[in-house]
Structure 1
């Protein structure tokens, strides 16, 4: 008797997550065959030799005996108070433990928050390029992603007028990823004030993905959104994974600010959904207080001479030395988003390039169009490897692009002849 094929959810066909998709699967096949690869597709500090700070490890180890029971669905009381105090110091309105939700990473909280907000057909304004989890979570919660442009010629900053023009009666939220993944842009205060005012005028929820908030370079500043939003509802998301190099601990948080009456139903919905999944990972929550109110260990890594700063410098210098690439230097976060230019850009396809780079040079990058943009001339790399590794990577990238440019020249010469 034949077993019928299980049907899957139809909307999954609309979901893209190339960061861990087809190219990553091909990379695993090559590794299984004995190839050594440089994998720059994921911003995973632990995979590049970074460790969570010792005082965070000690906080978890010292409380492991208390980590066996479920905790409150919103998180450990002491951890929520530590997050609320951190946000009060930033100027977040109405920051208190009751308005803090701890989740299994920001990823889970993005899904929960959109599930709490959206009815079928509701729209969410997302940046293009975006971190594709935001698009996927919108789709899988029966919403509709509507994109606003963050173009390289504008420093990857959005145009508030375009954001407002794309609001319809079905729009429910404006998402900001700041500092930005994949571009490394950090949004200035004046821009954020204009977007916050738009949300207030239209009664929209601001959703601020601020997971890279302390990873800034060369005088770049980070401006949190919630203090500028005032009484307008704002959900600010952060966690231990990037700034504190503890991705595998799966600890994220969301802080709901703004008028309590306007936020009341959404707060109750988040609480209900949190209860349905019982609680977030408990051991990692014991590190939150130490992370937010202890030594700021990320700062030396981002300062001149620090590993992240020098990795960023290596990428900027490699792009400047290449005739095939241009770059808006990332001011923040853990990524660079180079653009292919000149003869190599003629007929260029980012997916074909990424596959060729993987097959011929052993380097895994993420095609730029994977971040929900129509343009196919960008790719993303993480800044986490050692600077010398990145210099070598960009030499390999240049080899592939030089072949593209030469092949294009040969085709044109043949056509002319």
Structure 2
């Protein structure tokens, strides 16, 4: 660990004297894009709307959460022990349970002091971005990626620079582009694995290369692991915290996806830093200060977390994974039947896939947003335009719904293509 400490020097110590960064351009959020598409639905279409644009499968019976989680919430409410205000970082039993849960996958143990409980992963991202946003700083985020990072950075005047994920290499990080983008004002890079929006899963070897690159560049890693353990291909989930002795890692996560309860809004920030390097930067102090002025997750949900994390059965997780795998198989196989779109890699994790549009084969379709708007109007199918995640003329298909509805939705997309295909 001492070697890691000596070989990593955080660039952020230079930020306070740097020039104020230019205002970031605020991207269209996923919610904004989906709201626009919902406005294009044809009220005269009697068919059900098939939602393939948003990662919330909780409405479908095959993705109902475990009774263990529901009972834990009820028990917490009825106990009358959790009607109080929460400490800024979360109640101690919740922090302890999350630390123990995350430590199962790590070569070292996290303590409750390494964990802060947040209002879902969204607030975790907001807190970290705000803590890093000193004058002149910039942050590296993946393209395609999750647009909340750009949106939050824009509000904090934190410059965003995009590094590419390579479709032909399973959406691996283009580490050459990371090095080319980094300068003395770069403070962090964001890694999302399992990947939203691509459905990719990074290998141990690739994550280690990312960690070594970050150490070389003197930046920290923000690991977005909201889809942790939702893998169903040949790769295993590897937490970025595995490499915390190489480079400091701030991990954001939640119970939203693995337990299928996004509305419960329970997430966390975990500090994976066994060398203690982040204490030298002031980042952890900034996070604590932000927590002191922000809202907390409902205390009864925090009170339920120990039972949820400890008592959920492997059978529940296996059933979710098996359904996800069935959906991914359906999605990938049916996309191959449609000449106008292509998926470069079968999804191996998370809930979505990136699909490339071949507009040269389509008549009367201008771009990805036009494709999605007309698909909503003509077929009552909602998919997300790739522009919302940084990839123009691609679309993101979220496949975590009832398999029979997914198959129907993709069949409707095929009918849409055949209707708009150019006549040769």
Q: Shorter-chain TM-score: what band? A: 0.7 to 0.9
CA contact (8 A) 1:350 1:369 kept: yes
1:157 corresponding residue in structure 2: 172
Distance 1:86 1:71, change over 3 A: same
Quote how far apart the aligned CAs of 1:268 are: 1.6
Alpha-carbon displacement from aligned partner over 1:355-401 (angstroms, at most 9, x marks no partner): 0000111111101121023x31x211212221221111111111222
Distance 1:218 1:177 in 2: 17
2:376 to 346, 358, 366: 358
CA contact (8 A) 2:27 2:388 kept: no
2:8 corresponding residue in structure 1: none
User: What secondary structure is seen at the aligned counterpart in 2 of 1:130?
Assistant: coil
CA contact (8 A) 2:212 2:246 kept: no
1:46 to 54, 58, 72: 58
Normalised by the size of structure 1, how large is the TM-score? 0.88
1:380 to 389, 393, 396: 396
2:351 to 327, 334, 345: 334
1:415 corresponding residue in structure 2: none
> What do you get for the CA RMSD once the two structures are aligned?
2.3
Distance 1:184 1:30 in 2: 27
Distance 1:92 1:83, change over 3 A: farther
Distance 2:34 2:120 in 1: 24
2:73 to 47, 60, 63: 60
Distance 2:367 2:187 in 1: 34
1:301 corresponding residue in structure 2: 320
Distance 1:33 1:27 in 2: 14
User: What secondary structure is seen at the aligned counterpart in 2 of 1:16?
Assistant: coil
Aligned residues: 393
Distance 1:344 1:201, change over 3 A: same
Quote how far apart the aligned CAs of 1:26 are: 4.5
2:38 to 7, 27, 33: 27
Quote how far apart the aligned CAs of 1:275 are: 1.1
Quote how far apart the aligned CAs of 1:325 are: 2.5
Correspondence 1:139 to 2:150: no
Distance 1:138 1:33, change over 3 A: farther
Correspondence 1:267 to 2:280: no
Distance 1:405 1:29 in 2: 21
Alpha-carbon displacement from aligned partner over 1:90-126 (angstroms, at most 9, x marks no partner): 2264611011011000001100111111113311110
**Unaligned residue ranges in structure 1 (runs of 5+):** 1-9, 410-417
Quote how far apart the aligned CAs of 1:147 are: 0.5
Distance 1:91 1:400, change over 3 A: same
User: What secondary structure is seen at the aligned counterpart in 1 of 2:104?
Assistant: helix
Alpha-carbon displacement from aligned partner over 1:298-319 (angstroms, at most 9, x marks no partner): 222213xxx2221111111211
2:263 corresponding residue in structure 1: 248
Correspondence 1:211 to 2:232: no
Distance 1:340 1:25, change over 3 A: closer
Distance 1:387 1:282, change over 3 A: same
CA contact (8 A) 2:37 2:372 kept: no
Distance 1:337 1:261, change over 3 A: closer
CA contact (8 A) 2:231 2:349 kept: yes
Distance 2:279 2:248 in 1: 6
Distance 1:29 1:380 in 2: 18
2:408 to 392, 399, 403: 392
Distance 1:338 1:257 in 2: 34
Correspondence 1:43-192 to 2 at 5 A: 43-49=55-61, 50-64=63-77, 65-91=80-106, 93=108, 95-192=110-207
Distance 2:240 2:146 in 1: 18
Quote how far apart the aligned CAs of 1:402 are: 2.2
User: What secondary structure is seen at the aligned counterpart in 1 of 2:191?
Assistant: strand
Distance 2:216 2:390 in 1: 27
Distance 2:43 2:289 in 1: 44
1:232 corresponding residue in structure 2: 247
